[in-house]
């Protein structure tokens, strides 16, 4: 059995602002662009863990490695934005993957607000 990774997203990571060392901003993290991902609505327990709002918290799965808590995931087709709130390694034969909990970002409330990832990719 393999994961059905039906969406593609880019990872944006907080980086120091080149014009002001006291500020950070999200910038595209090129090594993690165009990653395949599967997102699903989170259950009530995962929504509470993520500090999200029911209907705005998601669980996502991927086989990519290197996603960190606090990263912003932006779906390429829809433009939905999610902030990674947690991640967990998750084995699913024959490969390893990650499960994560993501929340819609404040700038994209209508899209998603909480999240969790489990596996070796996104959590």
pLDDT in tens, 44-60: 888 887 777 777 888 88
Q: Is the pLDDT of residue 36 over 60?
A: yes
Long-range (24+ apart) CB contacts under 8 A made by 75-78 are: 75/7, 75/8, 75/9, 75/39, 76/7, 76/8, 76/9, 76/10, 76/34, 77/7, 77/8, 78/111
113 vs 76, more confident: 76
Q: How confident is the model at residue 31 (pLDDT cuts 50, 70, 90)?
A: very high
Task: Give the architecture (CATH level 2) of 7-119.
Answer: Beta Barrel (2.40)
Under 8 Å between Cβ of 17 and 24: yes
Comparing 50-54, 66-70, 83-87, the range with the smallest average pLDDT is 50-54
Average pLDDT of every residue of the chain: 77
Locus of tokens 């999610």:
82
> In the predicted model, is pLDDT for residue 113 greater than 50?
no
Least confident of 7-16, 30-39, 49-58, 76-85: 49-58
* Per-residue confidence band for 114, with pLDDT thresholds at 50, 70 and 90: very low
Residue 75: the pLDDT is 94
- Span between the terminal Cα atoms of the chain, in Å: 20
Contact, 101 vs 42, CB < 8 A? Answer: yes
122 confidence band (pLDDT: 50, 70, 90): very low
Q: Where are the domains of the chain?
A: 7-119
């Amino acid at each position: 059995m393999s994961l059905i990774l039906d969406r593609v997203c880019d990872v944006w990571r907080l980086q120091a602002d080149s014009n002001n060392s006291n500020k950070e901003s999200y910038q595209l993290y090129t090594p993690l662009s165009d990653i395949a991902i599967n997102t699903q609505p989170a259950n009530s327990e995962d929504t509470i863990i993520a500090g999200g709002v029911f209907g705005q918290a998601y669980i996502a799965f991927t086989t990519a490695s290197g996603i960190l808590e606090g990263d912003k995931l932006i779906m390429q087709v829809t433009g939905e934005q999610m902030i990674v709130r947690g991640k967990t390694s998750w084995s699913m034969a024959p490969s390893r993957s990650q499960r994560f909990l993501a929340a819609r970002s404040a700038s994209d409330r209508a899209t998603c607000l909480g999240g969790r990832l489990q596996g070796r990719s996104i959590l």
